Amino acid sequence: MSEKSKILVLAGTREARKLIGVLVANTEYEVIASLAGITKNPADLSVTTRTGGFGGADGLSNYLQTQGIAAVVDATHPYAAQISRNAVEATRHLAIPLLRFERAAWEQTNDDIWYFADNVIAAVNLIPPNAKVFFAASAKIAAPLKQRPDLTFVIRTLKGPSDSEVLPNAEYIEGLPNESWLEETELFKVLKVDWLISKNSGGSASYGKVRAARELQIPVAMLKRPELPNGILCASIDEVLKTLKACVQNAQHCKTTL
């Protein structure tokens, strides 16, 4: 029996969990998953799972080499730019195939009121004075909100901020987004939200807030996705499987390029 090819999946999304389940069922691969360690009590992925950072691109390169990884699948959140850049650099250095499995972005409908922003600073500058803003773009990048003391922010976060991180013009809601747009609509009504700041995360898990904003005609400052130096972009699990098989068989042909 031939030795299984080791695949590292940079995980943390629903799509990553589904992909890992399919890869595990495929007897050609030994799967290792990596999680950033941000989510409390993440679901068991049923494979060897590494939690925490690698120590930059060099640390990831060393890990790939010592573990004998044959290919990397980046299935992280579309805004997890740093680990994606590290993956590009590390796999390019070692000539290891890199596949990026990225869910499609949400598309604006005729009833949506979206304004696109390159970053948080640009987003808050779109908002008129004295508005109440629901900030659903991660508390980790909320510091620029201090520049608009005239605005009141509601920040939804997986983990409450430390005392040093608390913003004077913000209140915090701890928890995950409501998948139901009806629940998000009621929340926005209770909070009397005037604006929404959101990442274009794609997928269904956090789309409820976007649908709620549409129903209530709340303007959305939509943060653009970061431009990432992708490996081989795959839009579906089937495409990942097909491409991965070809890459493992012919790694030189699928070598990561910038």
User: Model confidence over 173-206: pLDDT tens digits?
Assistant: 988 898 899 999 999 999 999 999 999 988 888 9
7 with 69: CB under 8 angstroms?
yes
Strand order, beta sheet including 5-10: 48-51, 29-35, 5-10, 69-74, 98-101, 232-234
Q: How many CB atoms lie within 10 A of CB 189?
A: 11
User: Model confidence over 144-165: pLDDT tens digits?
Assistant: 999 999 999 999 988 778 877 8
Domains of the chain by range and CATH?
A: 5-104+226-249 (3.40.50.720), 114-223 (3.40.50.720)
Please name which of 251, 117, 240, 136 lies closest in space to residue 196, comparing C-alpha atoms.
136
| Alpha-carbon gap, residue 33 to 43, rounded angstroms | 12
Confidence of residue 37 (pLDDT cuts 50, 70, 90): low
Cβ contacts of 107 within 8 Å, gap of 6 or more: none
| Alpha-carbon gap, residue 114 to 184, rounded angstroms | 18
| Alpha-carbon gap, residue 132 to 199, rounded angstroms | 18
Confidence of residue 167 (pLDDT cuts 50, 70, 90): very high
- In this predicted structure, which of 31-45, 113-127, 195-209 has the lowest mean pLDDT? 31-45
Tokens 């009504």 found at: 189
- Counted residue by residue, the chain has a size of 258
Q: How many CB atoms lie within 10 A of CB 74?
A: 28
SS (H, E, C) 161-223: CCCCCCCCCEEEEECCCCCCHHHHHHHHHHHCCCEEEEECCCCCCCCHHHHHHHHHCCCEEEE
| Alpha-carbon gap, residue 226 to 119, rounded angstroms | 9
Helix H or strand E segment including 120 = helix 120-124
Q: Interior CA angle at 157 toward 223 and 52, to 5°?
A: 90
What average pLDDT does this structure show over 138-142? 86
Residue 66: the pLDDT is 93
Confidence of residue 70 (pLDDT cuts 50, 70, 90): very high
**Full-model pTM:** 0.74
221 with 123: CB under 8 angstroms?
yes
User: Model confidence over 209-253: pLDDT tens digits?
Assistant: 999 999 999 999 999 988 766 678 888 899 999 999 888 777 645
